[in-house]
């Protein structure tokens, strides 16, 4: 089963990461790299996303599309990256995510299979 893990940063998490010294921040990132290495057989893709300020959003709510700079969310949480995984089932995905050492929220979303391949 294919899933996408959406890694979500909160304002509090971002502030805590920013407040860390260089060595402590490097160790936090090292734990994330170790997590990806430990699950490399199941991770099939993914990327870290650039900061939300770099986003361009197109709103398609009736009428003409409206293009705005910035993230689409009006909240305090921002998707900072994603990973594509292939596992047996949701339980296996949950076991992986329970050991995630990074941001405090991970959304697990199944990938819809397309009739085109």
Task: Please provide the average confidence, as pLDDT, over all residues in the chain.
Answer: 90
Q: Which domains does the chain show, CATH number per domain?
A: 2-110 (3.30.70.1060)
Interval 30-47 mean pLDDT: 97
User: What is residue 71's predicted lDDT score, i.e. its pLDDT?
Assistant: 60
Per-residue confidence at 94, pLDDT binned at 50, 70, 90? very high
Rounded Cα distance between 27 and 33, Å, is 10
Per-residue confidence at 93, pLDDT binned at 50, 70, 90? very high
User: What is residue 20's predicted lDDT score, i.e. its pLDDT?
Assistant: 97
Rounded Cα distance between 2 and 9, Å, is 23
Tokens describing residue 110 = 């199944």
Q: Is the pLDDT of residue 73 over 60?
A: no
């Amino acid at each position: 089963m294919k899933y996408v893990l959406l890694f979500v940063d909160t304002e509090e998490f971002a502030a805590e990461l920013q407040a860390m010294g260089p060595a402590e921040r490097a160790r936090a990132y090292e734990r994330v790299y170790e997590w990806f290495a430990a699950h490399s057989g199941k991770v099939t893709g993914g990327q870290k996303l650039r900061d939300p300020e770099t986003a361009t959003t197109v709103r398609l709510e009736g009428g003409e599309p409206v293009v705005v700079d910035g993230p689409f969310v009006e909240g305090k949480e921002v998707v900072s990256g994603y990973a594509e995984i292939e596992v047996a089932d949701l339980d296996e995905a949950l076991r992986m995510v329970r050991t995630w050492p990074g941001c405090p929220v991970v959304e697990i979303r199944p990938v819809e299979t397309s009739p085109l391949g």
